[in-house]
Amino acid sequence: MEKFARARVRRSAMVALALALPVAAVAILPFPAKVVPNVYDYANYLFLDKTDCQGDHSDLPANVDCGGVGDFQTTNYRDTTRIDTSQSAQELYGVVGPSTNMAWRITTGRPDVVIAVIDDGVQWDQSVGYLNRKYYINRGELPMPPGGPNAADTIFGGYDVNGDGVFNSIDYAGAVADLNGNGFVDPQDLIRTYSDSVDDDGNGYVDDIAGWDFYENDNDPNDDVDFGHGNGRSRDAVAEAGVEDGQCPNCMVMPLRVGDSFIADVNHFGEAIEDALGTLNHTSFGQAAVDYAYYHGVIINASEADEAAGHHNWPAAYDHTMVVNAIGDAGIDQAAVPNSFLHLLGCTNFGGYSFVSIPGVKCSSEAAGRSAGVSGLLVSAAKNAIDRGDMTRYVRDDGSLASFPLSGEEMKQLWRLAADDIDFASPCPDHAFCDEPPSGVPSPTAPANNYAINTPDSIRYQSVRGWDYFTGYAYPGLEIAVGSHDNHVYVWHQDGTLVPGWPVVLRDPAKVATMNPVTHNFTLLPGVGAVRDGTKVIVSPSLGDLDGDGDLEIVVGVNEQYAEDPNAALAPELLALGYLVVPGNARIYALHHDGANHPATPAQAATPHTQDQAYVAGWPVPIAVIQTDLLPDVGTGTNGQSPLADIDGDGTLEVVTASAAGPGYILNHDGTSFLGTVDGGKYRTLTTSGGAATDVPSYIAVGALSVASLDGGAHLSVLGPGGGLKRVVDVVIPAQQLGGEDHFAFWNATTGAYEPNSPVVVNDLQFFAGPIAGDINGDGLAEGIQGSAVSDTVAVGLGVPSAAATRYHSGGWTVSSAAIGDAPLGAAEDGQLQIATTTREGYLRLYPTSVAAGSAAACTALSQWPEYGHDAHHSGNYQVDAERPYPLRGVSAAGEPVGGSVSVSLIATGDDRACGRAARYEVRGAPADVLDPDWRTATPLGTFAVGADAGQPDSFTVSGVTPGTALLVRAFDQAGNGSAVSRLPEPPRALALAFGGLLLFALSRWVK
């Protein structure tokens, strides 16, 4: 234990963080290049053995600038030329780094230390020069290279046949062809050569030669979408010295491609993990995976995310990760005050779960890569100490030695021990929840924030037998329209077969040079300004009859965008930012109901695009983006559903839409501008300036829109998330832009102007979430309701100022739309409507309203936009009635059948839920011995008039009922929406319906 304790002091001195090294010309691996008797004795030569900086010394990469700020500073690693910071303790006296070369005096890493990069995979064709020799390859799945084994190799089992101290693809030079044609024998060539479908090393991953693709479950972690994020993080961590600026120039990297999950197998992959991801949800399985890594000596260097905000990001926010954000020089000609190296970079988050800040020039993703490299140095130093006999491997509680040198917690604490405190006083970072709430902000002890819900700590939801039958969801007879990540919109029948004419590819025909008629792979015309190809449809399509032909069209967007003249008159303040923003246009599409299943016009047939007959005339429409490629996937193109509504009452639908970051549009059915044009034909948009905000212009940002009447039906309003210009710029440039605001805005849909006292200030961005609208106080007027990424859900009526808005502390990141309805769960079944929210942390919360469920006020409250997509079909169409009648209650068959007739009594249901009066009853017969009969195949026995309003007794007589027949009863509204099926046992016995009673009724209501 004495050796172990002594080693801690040495290791803590090793950890140092740095800005990037300058680009040099000659790759060096191992680094430094030394002539030594044993290249596998890493502890005794892989470090810089000079304490000064000599530019011509062979230990250093070529072209190192020894006087460069932040690189190899030799005097306290600070910049004394900035008087306002160099004399300030709060500014750490002008600290620049400190520089990683200080850590390199202890170790430059070891080739037997592997950093797993969990990301989008490898761009094999772009790794030559700084990463190709750095990829870990698994000798358990590979044959011995020609000329092996190397008897001197004590680390890699003789596989290092060229004797350079590193086992990599170079050892197979001459034995493997350059199969991918990138001019280099790399791990992908080994994968293609030696994959034999046999799990030679028995680790459960067949042919895992160089990492793994957990997204497609194969052994080639190729970056299929060619985004390059994984390459960038690998470069930050381990790029070769003399070429790039990897923090651990001798560590190896293992690429692990992920998609829907960040989970990887720490039993076989890596001693440190780099994670620069953002997952949508927070799961117990994800936490278990992080815990497993932590308890097996693996440190997870996790990005805090890139939105210049205080919200939590997963997987970084799991327990036992090491969360990093990014700091650096303010830039912009050093005009920021103070002129510091400690400014938060623009695209980095902050908050109480930040563990350490990493100097850099980009975002939190870069910080995660750099910190992973430094963690590699830390593991290397520990291994060196073990090799020298200065310490043991980690000692478990039972006294046994672990297989790893340091525990996850030891590594985190050594990081913290080596870091300097960055301490700035910051009262009330969020406007709504300070220690002392300002005027108009509810106290944390307010009733709305202390509503008791007596439910178990954990509720598991699963399907129960008969659920589909009783709710009527099993075979609704509808089609399913969905956008995919392959650039297509699909439409399926309920049995999973494609509707003829689908899928349809989304791509502006004016940009297409060639298109394969089968795969729809395309090339673009030269000079079209494509910022991103745009293959991901991440939002729900909207459905409505745009052209009046009686069929539904599909309105949808994709993350397609072009750097071109924006189709809007952007504010002068935005244009004045010049190079800081790169505006352009996204695209919004309207598709015919039959997709491409009709002949093309001669003009369409003459284009290279093979499916443009699927597009409604006048579409796609360019819609402005104020910053192209703002964020990967979620911040490109369009990321919100486009509402449809008849705004002017002329019987045709208008389309309300916006890009991920830009002004809002109202479009006519033919794609022209409903609000008119400006500046020689550019579309006039929803206003972005004026109103109640101080941070203007304000643009719709990273969320969805909705439409509702907030004044009792006099006119429609557009509701949506927004951010002021300062807030948008805050994501792009370093430091905090004082006065930046996030907004929840209302516009008059007829004029495009802000509604009175709009926009309202909220805590944070409103990713993915679209506002809902419903009456929460019983005054007959709907409030707009929207959640943000930092703990607030806001409800505000038309004309209500920001200070008077109702604010609910939601306890996390609300990543989906709220909903309003009757929620009979435990103690919450109090007869009142509830607002339901879910957070990214995984919590479902209910907030009470003063509106009685089932009342006339409740019918009004739920008549606007009560849930995501407006209705149960998520149609996005304000005019659609997709609300089913509530399930029938008290259904019974009275008396013996006379001549095959049965009298049915029940409590009437409504048209929408329990509102109004249903249009008709339908009765069908099924064999009484079938427990779960199919409504579609049951025998029709008649349609019957509804004789009572919802909640009142009603009855009718069914004729033609034969012995052995059970009756199936449903109520339908005028739109054809049917209630759940009520099943009566075989006549003639007079039996009251008792199929689960109030519980089933409650569950059925909750589903709707």
230 in Cβ contact with 117 (< 8 Å): yes
Of 248, 245, 267, 246, the closest CA to residue 256 belongs to 267
DSSP 122: B
Rama region for 517: left / alpha / beta (φ>0; ψ in -120 to 50; rest): alpha
The model's confidence at residue 115, banded by pLDDT at 50, 70 and 90, is very high
Consecutive H or E run containing 926: strand 920-927
| More reliable by pLDDT, 34 or 674 | 674
Q: Which two structure tokens, joined as six digits, stand for 146?
A: 């020609």
Whether the predicted pLDDT of 454 surpasses 50: no
What is the dihedral angle through the alpha carbons of 817, 820, 823, 827, rounded to the nearest 10 degrees? 90
Query: Does position 751 have pLDDT exceeding 70, yes or no?
Result: yes
Write out pLDDT tens, residues 786-805: 999 888 899 999 999 988 99
Backbone angles phi, psi at 285, to 5 degrees: -65, -40
Residue 327 and residue 363 in contact, taking contact as beta carbons nearer than 8 Å? no
Q: Rounded CA gap, 406 and 384, in Å?
A: 12
Q: Which residue shows structure tokens 């902000």?
A: 441
Cis omega (within 30 of 0) for bond into 697: yes
pLDDT at site 3: 29
Residue for token pair 């093979």: 610
Alpha-carbon dihedral 129, 134, 137, 142, rounded to 10 degrees: 50
DSSP, collapsed to helix, strand or coil, labels residue 922 as strand
Closest CA to 314 of 344, 342, 343, 289: 289
Contact 207, 196 (CB under 8 A): yes
Chain-centroid distance of CA 282 in Å reads: 11
Neighbour-count burial of 75, counting CB atoms closer than 10 A to its CB (0-12 exposed, 13-18 middle, 19+ buried): exposed
Tokens 């202390």, located at residue: 450
Mean pLDDT of the chain: 82
The C-alpha angle with vertex 362 and arms to 360 and 363, in degrees rounded to 5, equals 100
Contacts of 676 (CB under 8 A, 6+ apart): 684
Joined together, the tokens standing for residue 406 give 């340091």
What value does the mean pLDDT take over residues 171-191?
Answer: 92
Q: What span, in angstroms and rounded, lies between the C-alpha atoms of 501 and 507?
A: 16
| Three-class secondary structure of residue 646 per DSSP | coil
Is 68 or 119 the better-scoring residue by pLDDT? 119
Q: Which helix (H) or strand (E) holds 559?
A: strand 553-562
Q: What is the mean pLDDT of residues 78-89?
A: 61
- Per-residue pLDDT tens digits for 878-905: 999 988 898 999 999 875 555 678 999 9
Which residues are CB-neighbours of 224 under 8 A, at least 6 positions away? 121
Which contacts qualify for 192-197: CB closer than 8 Å, 24 or more apart?
194/141, 194/142, 194/143, 195/219
Report which of 167, 170, 188 is spatially closest to residue 179, judged by C-alpha positions: 188
- How many Cβ atoms sit within 10 Å of the Cβ of residue 632? 17
**Alpha helices for 801-956 (secondary structure H):** 856-861
- pLDDT tens digit sequence for 605-630: 999 999 999 999 999 999 999 888 77
Q: pLDDT for 186-242, tens place per residue?
A: 999 999 999 999 999 888 889 999 998 887 888 888 887 777 888 889 999 999 887
pLDDT digits (tens, 9 = 90+) for 918-971: 999 999 999 988 888 889 899 999 999 999 999 899 999 999 888 888 899 999
Rounded to whole angstroms, the Cα distance separating 764 from 553 reads 34
Residue 476 has pLDDT above 70, yes or no: no
pLDDT greater at residue 584 or residue 987: 584
779 and 808 Cβ atoms separated by less than 8 Å: no
| CATH class label, 889-1007 | mainly beta
Q: Which residue has the higher pLDDT, 143 or 268?
A: 143
pLDDT on residue 894: 72
Average pLDDT over residues 549-571: 91
Calculate ∠ Cα 421-424-425, nearest 5°.
Answer: 130
Q: What is the pLDDT of residue 458?
A: 41
pLDDT band at 335 (very low <50, low <70, confident <90, very high): low
pLDDT category of residue 913 using cuts at 50, 70 and 90: confident
- Cα separation, 878 vs 311, whole angstroms: 32
Would you state the pLDDT for residue 286? 86
Domain ranges of the chain: 137-210, 476-771, 889-1007
Give every CB contact of residue 800 below 8 A, 6+ residues apart in sequence: 757, 760
Token digits for 909?
Answer: 């249901």
* Proportion of the chain in helix, strand, coil states, percent, rounded to 5: 15, 25, 60
CA terminus-to-terminus distance, the chain: 63
Place 95 in a pLDDT band, splitting at 50, 70 and 90.
Answer: confident
Cβ-Cβ contacts under 8 Å for 547 (sequence gap 6 or more):
553, 616, 669, 670
Rounded to 5°, angle at Cα 876 from 873 and 881: 55
Instruction: Give the residue with greater pLDDT, 79 vs 461.
Output: 79
Question: 81-95, 542-556, 764-778, 841-855: lowest mean pLDDT where?
Answer: 81-95
